[in-house]
Structure 1
Amino acid sequence: MNPARRTAATAAVLSTTGALLSALTTTAASAAPSCVSPVYTRTFYANTTFSGTPKKTDCDSGISENWGTAAPATGLPKDNFGVRWSVTRDFGSGGPFSLPVSTQDGVRVYLDGVRKVDIWKNVSANQSKSVDVTIPSGKHTLRVDYVNWTGTANVAFSYLPRLSADADKVKPLVPTGTSVAYDKETGKAKLSWAKNKEMDLAGYRVYRRLKGASFGSKPLATTTSTSYTDATLPKTGETYYYEVRAYDRVGNESTGTADQAVTTVDRVAPDAPANVSAGGHFGPTDSTGGLKVAWDKVAGAVSYRVFRAASENGTYTALGTTDQLSYLDTSAAEKVTYYYRVSAVDAAGNESAQSETRYGKIWDNDPPALVTGLSVTPTEYGFHLDWDKNPATDLKYYEIHWGEVMGDPGDQVCWGGTADYVSPDRTSYDYTTLPDGDEVCFFVDAVDDEGNSAIKWNGPAEAVPVTELDMTPSEATPEGSPVRLSATAAGTGVALGWNAVADATGYQVYRWNPGSKAYEKLGATTDTSYEDSGAAKGTTHFYRVVALYADGTESAPGGDWVALAP
């Protein structure tokens, strides 16, 4: 509220032909000022009909006046005057408003020329009233006419959004002028937009999504400003989208702005290559020579750099770049150990850390021959394997492989894993397992001092399928026993162990006799262990243990087995 200013008056006293004349000159009303919304344009009238030329026009930031019994401005009477305020402003999305007034004497409030408040009489005390209205979106004009007839003069008026969820169901307008600027150096994105016109605006919510995904329910940020800088963008070369939504003090949220896209710089290096190996054999027909470095594929990598050093902690020098998963070091000399590391490079030029160090050297290019003459005999303890002695003079060991036959007839393979390693001076092996009639398969690999595998370079090996004997007792061991039995080969026999059973006075040990086809007693004990020193080698033994109780009963048996090689 700006108080009215009194207009200065200039008095002059003139002397003409002996008479005293008094003249009063008053400045004319100035031109109407330009008041910027939401500031009111205020005009003063020396009447209550708002007629004729205003005595004064100025700008007023709010309507809250108490002139008492004085004139509101120079040149106006203290009674029978009028004051008019007018403002045109943008109400954004509009919505429910209240128009509270307090006055002595009369006041009328107009919205777009339509009277909404009418208190129009000469009174000796303040009058108050509040009217609820709905203001449409966009620009609208409020006009307040005040008159004082006699006595005290005061007036107060405001227009306020109704901050009630029951009253206000109007969403704010969608923010306009949205733009985004991305700084490739810092990786930050600055989002800007124009200020909303809502009088009950609480702020703005910024949302972000990855291309191909949707905006979540939780905003990235909330702000009362008209800009936001996102410093959390991943620098992965991916595209992200932003939108801004305005929300009011009741909680109504606007729809989102048009998506603003940002494609980030890629500053994320790929992972370092894994499972790096360095070996010096490339098959008997390879004529290039050299030491081969290989590794697993790295996601996002378009090329790889290979480094070499003379010692594990020495200086690693780049050898070359390749888009393959291996690199042939043709400069490697025979019988010299070299140390290698590999890095991965993506399309943006980001390079990973170097891999773990692997070393290798070229000794020879001759792997052992494939193992021949393999025979597999089913036994009571599993299988006995025999094969021909391998002719390689630098043989380091035989690798026994056990597996299952996979595939259709005519296109079958032995699929399994390593069962054991055998010294190069042996040509037989006993494989212990539970002989229960399954079909399995075996093959044997020969590996030399340099780790050259016969199968790797000369394979595939010839696998032998074979069916186990079935040593399973004809009397099945029932489930639900409180005894949990464990049988293991130990020394010259079999060690049995089990848990203590509540209320048991002792335990009875049984062993299956294939001849009598029955479980026969071995011995009784009050301990929770028993050693069967008389268990024969070269067969599979099946055991049971029951808990004995004071009333002469016994528990259900707990069972286990152990295969003993010859």
Structure 2
Amino acid sequence: MKRYALYVTLIFIVSLITSCGGDSGSAGGDNGAVPAMPQWIKATEGVFKDKVEVYWDDSVGSHNFVLYKSIDDKNNFRVIATDITGNSFVDDRVTPNRIYYYKVAAANGDKWSQPSIDACGFAHDGKPLAPVNVVASKSKIGEILIEWKEVPQCDYYRVFRSDNKNGGFSEIVSNITSTNYTDTSVPVRDKKYFYCIQAISNNDGEGDLSDVADGIALEDIPLPPVTVNATDGIYGNKVDITWAAADKASMYALYRAVDNDGVAETDDSSEYELVAANITELLYEDTTVIVNQLYRYKVAAISSGGEGEKSNSCAGKSKSGAPIQTPAPQNLIASDGDYDIISISWDAVSSATAYSLYRSDASNGSYTVIANKITATSFVDTPPSLVTRYYYKVTSWSEGLEPVESYKSLHDEGYAMPKIANVPSGLTSSTNRTDGKIILKWFASDRAESYKLYRSDSQSGTYNLLASGLVNLEYTDEFPSIIVGKNYYYKVSAVNVSGESQMSEYVAGNTKLAVPGNFSVSYSNKQVTLNWSAVIGATAYKIQRRKFFETSYKNIGTTSSCNFIDTDLTWGQHHYYKVQAINSAASSDWSDSQSVYVIW
């Protein structure tokens, strides 16, 4: 009875496992479906001296994985391995202390997912690693705080500074044992400075410099502006307020209050309200005034460190019957990123009869009129260069027999982008090479900055990304990225700052296994020894033999090495041998036969 109960229990457990999907395997891929992109990838950082181990998570629908690698930066990924059945890969083609980036794609047959996010990895040997996570502050007045991540096996640090990101670094302090330093010797405020850190070991010497971090020391809060003046009855529609530049100020804020007694010589105003902020000129046109109402104005200077105290007040008003000058247009907007053109628009100005548009290649540069006395409140500019930023200002013109031009508006910047590059043409591929390489070439595409290459296992299959960031018009796809003897199909696209073109028409390419070279046979001690050179892409070699009185060759063995020993010999006969390279996709031609006479 106990045996029967045990048997029933086992039947129940097996049934439960079957119903819950007891099939083992990576992800149980759906045949023919594109698998999901792996969501997690990590590479070892300095754990090993001569290799990098890469790990990733499982992916739904995958049977195997494809690994990409880019050297030194993230811009030039190449496939380095396919048909990886596990969730890890050991990359032993690395140089110690050099940075590598990896991405992984899940594969299901000839269908690959998009590559994953990248992971950084490297092998390390010798001197300390370069510090990472270096940051420099941009929110402190008069100083810059630099911080970084602690480096293992480091005795102290050196801090270097430059005003040029690409070079000219000078040491500013040494023997720092903490992971931060406050630079109070910054030469210029509001200027970007660049810092890098070096780790020092008393035993192993100096490490490489870290990546560069930039920081800014904020300016002191400025003193109030002086010589603040306002027009008093000069215009019938506005009050112009002017002031002298305040030391250390980058912009200004304007405040206004109603003068209660209407006497310009005394300030009896009780409450000042903000009229305008972020003013970059030393002039502001207040067009929101009530005619003949006296106002009091104060100006505050602003630096990167904050807003200072308000200035002394000045009085101003508009006056009925005084000349009308139209104000500068507001809300000038220049487009960013349109193909080939920059569209500029602005708000209409009441009583303005026309507008003039000005352009400069610098915000504070010389502005040249590009559209004079136009009546529309928009203009389409074809700039001299694409991608380059241009700066625009606009003026308005008043009515009358002698129109008066307003002040220039605040500027806005815009840029135009090139159209997406044309689809590349002329894609060709090599065939039947025996060196394990498929060489692809194509013609240059107008407006292209780089190219992407895609590969598929079939003419109408899924084309997966093979390589990006290609700047030459040629690429070599080679073993072990490919299986020698297998047909592949390729497409290429052009890339520029605006995006990626459509893929080109496909082209087919393949390789073939070479005939084993340096084939030799020798006889000694009742055995024949065969030797030959390795063939790129071969996984095994097939050997055939014919004895003197036999009419045909027969298979006598297969080996994965480059030698073979035959002991099945017949005394007093010539023995003839041939060898062939094979893999899962193809086989080479047979070698020329080699013979040996057997006697003992």
Same-fold call, TM cutoff 0.5: no
Q: Identify the structure with the greater strand proportion.
A: 1
Q: Give the structure-2-normalised TM-score.
A: 0.25
Q: Give the structure-1-normalised TM-score.
A: 0.26
